[in-house]
Each structure stands twice: as C-alpha cells, then as structure tokens.
Chains A and B, each alone.
Chain A
Amino acid sequence: MFVVPWLIGFINFFFIPIINSIRFSISKIMIDNGPIYEYLGFTQYKYLFLSDATFFTDMLKTSGGVFLDVLMVIVFSLFFSLILVQKFRGRLLARAMFFLPVIVASGAVIKSIRFDASASGQFELSVLQSILQNANLSNDLVGLIVRTMEQMFQIIWKCGIQILIFMAGLQSIPSTIKEAAYVEGATGWEYFWKITFPMVMPLIQLNIIYTIIDSFTDYTNPIIQRIYALNQQLDYSFSSTIAWSYFSIIFIIAIVLYMILGKLNTRNSN
C-alpha cells in the first residue's frame, strides 16, 4: 500500500519510457500530431555494428580507459579513506574538501574545468619530464609517470563518493577487533591485510561497480557525447539504438565483474 505511489511513478516514468526506447531503436519515428512509428527491424543495429566507422574504436578506447580508471580510483580512495578516518586536527576540513568534487562536478562544469585546469597546467609537467629524462630514465618510464600525473586530477575528482563509502565501512569495524589484534602482536601492515582488507572487500565490490557505471556514463566519453548530440538534433531512433547497444555492453561487463567479485568474496570469507 505504501509502495503504490512510487510504483505508479515507476511504471509511468521509468518502465514505459524504457520500453518505448526499445521501440524507437527498431523503428523510424515521424512526429505529426503524435508520434508515428514505422517498423524498421534491426537494420539500425546492423548498421551500427557492421558498418559504423567509429563505434567500435570508441568502445575499445573507453573500455581501456575505464579499466585503468577503476583500478586507480579504487586504490586511491581506499588509501585516502584510510588516512581520513584517523583522528587528527582539521580532519573535518579535510573530509569536507574531499567531498567537494561531488557537489561541483556532478554537473556541467566538469567539462570546462577539465579543459583549463588539466594537470599539465597544474604541475608544470614539462619541467618534471625534463628532470626525469636527465636522470637517465628510459623514455617509456618517463612517459608512464607523466601520463599518470596528467590523470591525477581526473582520478581525484572522481573519488568523492567512493571515499565516503569506504570511510563509512572503515568506521563500522568495531574497535575491539583492533585492540585484540594489537594484543596478539599484529603490526599495522598485518592488521590492514588480515582484518581491514577482508572487511571492506564487499565495499570494494560495490565501489568497482559504481565506478564502472560512473565512468562509462561520463560526459567526456565520445559515445555519450554522440548520443547527446543526436538527442539535441531530435534524431530519436538512432540515438536510442546507440544507447541500447552501448549500455547493454556495459551491463554485461558489470554483471560479469560483479559475479567474479562475488565469487572471490565468498572464497575469502570461507
């Protein structure tokens, strides 16, 4: 009974639109006093998968990028949430700082911010590069370091929610466990790998899924930009074709990862 209002809303504003967008993707739409659909079948899908020039290269590029992103975001946010849960002076300020990107960057601003505040301007990377090269490091290594630094900005700006989730999880570990571990003589390093890590493992799983969805639907992603552009040109059917193909691929990736991680989880706890 309590759920009824939401259920009505769900069906009307979520379920029907989604079914409709499937219909869009397999038909041609003309608008003339109400939408008129002309059935096309799967020709648009065929076109997208077999003869579209950019879809697959974009897809591969984004998948690679997302993979790196996820790895770095998880490591970064776990690391910093471990620091932030400690008690020190000014920790409220520090925590507030880390959540700031979520407020600012969930919208339109991030695009222009990313453009003019990219890391090369922030850290004077060319200087770093020449220093490293003078230190007789191989070019590949220098390139790797510089690229990582360049991405620093994006990574940190993506970490807000993940840090919050990790922090909540870390704080929920009862302090008696910590005391017991120290009485038994565990060092901090052992404590982290034997107790903290297994306990936040489910959260890592959650965060990985969240980060995947988040970075695949990122504004800077070429496919998303294409969908957005098509939306603005009111080319309904092809944009929903792209959307459906793109997101079904993401879902498959996410679900497979989720299952693998879940397996790992249960094995760990046994």
Chain B
Amino acid sequence: MITTGNKSNIPPKRKNVESSPFLNKVKNISWKISRFILLFGMSYVIVYPLLYMVFRSFCSIDDIYDVTVKWIPKNFTFENFIRVYKGINYPGVFLNSVLVSFGSSLLLLLPCSFAAYGLSRFKFRGRGIVFAFVLMTIVVPQQFFVLPSFLNFSYFNGFGIVPLINNLASTQIRINLLDSFQVFWVPALFGSGIRSGLYIYIFVQFFKALPKELEEASYVDGCGFTNTFFRIIVPSAIPVIVTVFLFSLVWHWNDYQLSSVLMPENRTISSTVVNLKNILYQSDRTSGIESMIDIGQILLDTQVANIFLVSPMVILYLVAQKFFTESIERTGLVG
C-alpha cells in the first residue's frame, strides 16, 4: 500500500478483473432472461384486463355464474353484442364521437400551431404572461370549467356579439349550443379544446429546435409571415402535427366529463359508457322491473360497451403506434 497524501483526491484505479468469456456469457444470458421475465410480467398486467374483457363479452349469462369458466366461455354467443349494439344505438353514438373527436382535433391544429409559432419565434410584450397562461391551462383540471361552460354554451354569447345585438335591438335572442357539435368545435377553432395547452407546449418545443435559417431565407426571398408559416414551417412540422392530432383524437374520444354535461341528449360513445345503466335499462325502469335485471347481465353489457368504446382507439394505436411513442421523443417534449 503506497499511498501518498497529496494524491488523495484522485480515485484509486480499479483493478481490471479479467473475467472469463464463459462467465461473461452467463451473466449476459441471465440478465436477458430476467429482463424478459420482468417485461413479460408487466405486459401480462397490462393486457390481462383487455383479454378478460374480450373473453367475457362472448359469455352467456350462465357462464358468469359458472366458477369453472375462467377464460373460454362454454356457451359461445354474440347475443351481448347485438343487445348492446341496439340498446345504445351504437352507429349513432359512434358517429357523434367520430365527428366530435376528428372535427375538433383537426380544428385545433391551426390555432395551436399558430400560437406556438408566435410564442417561439417572436418577442413581443407580454409573451411571458401568455406562456404562463398556456401552462396554466395544462395544470387546471377540467372539473373547474365543466359547469361554467355548460352555462356559457346554453346561453352562448358569441364573444359578446349576441348581448350587444340584444341590447341595441332590444330582442331576446338566445343561442343554445348544447347537444350540438359546436360545443366542441368552437373552442377547438380558437385553440381551447381538451388539453390544448399541452399541444401548444409540444409545438413550442418543436419550433424552438427548428433552425431559423430556412425562415430567414424565405423572408429574404420576399415571403410574408403567413406565407412563410404555411410554406416552410408546416411542411417541416408534419411529424409533430400528426402526433398532436393523434393525442387530441384520443383525449377527445375518451372524454366523458365534458361531453356528458355538454351533450346530454346527443351522446358520444364515452359518455354513453359511463352512463350505461341509465341508458340501457331506461325502458325497464319506467315499467318498474328494475330489480329484475340480472347483475350478471349488467356485467356482460358493461364489458361489451367497453369493447365498443376502446376498440377503435386501440386499432388506431396499433396502426399509428410509431407516431405515438417515437415522435414524442423526436419532438423533444422533454428538452
């Protein structure tokens, strides 16, 4: 042991252990196996409820009470699907959901990317405050503005225009937007859809990373702001645009808090699933045979309705998986 005091801050060099190739191999393989087991276990936990859902939905009521039936139903049946399909008017609610989610996700893109571009490229007064507002919309939960926006839409003031007309012409015009798609479309058009602050944030992060030279070149060549935006920025931002579109699609599709309050009659699929019992057994309830409904049947119907709700998004996810998982990394959401 020859250690000198003045070198104490230099860490002692570790002796290189000459490990045999065999030992290395064993280490490597055992790590691989344990990693596989870990990941497999986690995947099991994630997939289990989905599989359970699928298998259960094919069961008949007898199978629910049969203890020996764990996975494969004994009496294979499509009855549940047909019953729920009719009961909730699936084509109707499905179409509603598609219109709401696709429509608002498409409308969102322009104002959100616009705002993000402005925030990331131009220095103007109050930029910090505006950005703080954007972050605020991410943090404030939905429950805050469900009710006020209910009132807001049932007496829609059209950005202050309707009361003005009412005052000037002393009329009593009342615009009720409830149960129409405008409830989601109008906010989306002004960049205030569900979680739109997050989309702006994603866009801002992306635009910040984009090199400025391209835009400068286009300014030199005589393009205006809007021209530059549509010709230069939008084409290079396509992966981000797809990501934002997909995310907002999923979140609008799955939203039930806003849609069950704002569209109480003209339901979307997710608010239907939440209020499934009220909708499906409404006719029974009025005739007073509510107690007759089998708990097993309720279970089955819930599973089927869940499949109806989830399957479009899962299929979409499987198709566009790359955009969901990879592009978030590329856009530098974290950076």
Q: A residues near B, CB below 8 A?
A: 1-3, 5-10, 12-14, 16-18, 20-21, 24, 33-35, 80, 83, 86, 88, 94-104, 106-109, 111-113, 116-117, 122, 152-153, 156-157, 164-165, 167-169, 171-172, 185, 203, 206, 213, 216-217, 224, 227-228, 231-232, 236, 239-240, 243-244, 247, 251, 254
Write the nearest CB–CB distance from B74 to chain A, whole angstroms: 19
Listed A/B pairs (28) with beta-carbon separation below 8 Å:
A2-B117, A5-B191, A12-B187, A12-B190, A20-B151, A33-B172, A94-B43, A97-B47, A98-B46, A106-B251, A107-B309, A108-B254, A108-B271, A109-B306, A111-B274, A112-B302, A116-B299, A153-B49, A156-B42, A168-B328, A172-B334, A185-B16, A228-B257, A231-B146, A243-B144, A244-B144, A247-B140, A254-B139
Q: A17 contacts B152, CB within 8 Å?
A: yes
A202 nearest in chain B by CB position = B334
- Rounded to whole angstroms, the CA-CA distance of A6 and B119 in the bound complex is 11
Number of residues from B at the complex interface, CB < 8 A: 86
How would residues 229 to 255 of chain B score, 1 for a CB under 8 Å from any chain A CB and 0 otherwise?
100000000000000000000110111
Query: Which residues of chain B have C-beta atoms less than 8 A from A3's C-beta?
Result: 114-115, 118-119, 130
Q: A9-B191, A116-B299, A122-B48 are in contact. List 14 more A-B contacts (CB 8 A).
A: A5-B191, A9-B111, A13-B187, A17-B145, A88-B32, A94-B39, A99-B321, A103-B313, A107-B270, A168-B334, A203-B334, A206-B334, A231-B146, A244-B144
- Contact residue among A2, A8, A254 (Cβ-Cβ distance under 8 Å from B190): A8
Write the nearest CB–CB distance from A219 to chain B, whole angstroms: 9
Q: B159 contacts A8, CB within 8 Å?
A: yes
Q: B306 contacts A14, CB within 8 Å?
A: no
Query: Which residues of chain A have C-beta atoms less than 8 A from B147's C-beta?
Result: 21, 24, 231, 236, 239-240
- Rounded to whole angstroms, the CA-CA distance of A80 and B69 in the bound complex is 34
Q: B45 contacts A103, CB within 8 Å?
A: no
- Contact residue among A18, A156, A185 (Cβ-Cβ distance under 8 Å from B46): A156
Query: Which residues of chain A have C-beta atoms less than 8 A from B261's C-beta?
Result: 231-232
Q: A6 contacts B115, CB within 8 Å?
A: yes
B306 nearest in chain A by CB position = A109
Q: A168 contacts B333, CB within 8 Å?
A: yes
* Majority DSSP secondary structure for residues of A touching B: helix
Query: Which residues of chain B have C-beta atoms less than 8 A from A206's C-beta?
Result: 334
Query: Which residues of chain A have C-beta atoms less than 8 A from B117's C-beta?
Result: 2
Write the nearest CB–CB distance from A167 to chain B, whole angstroms: 7
B117 nearest in chain A by CB position = A2
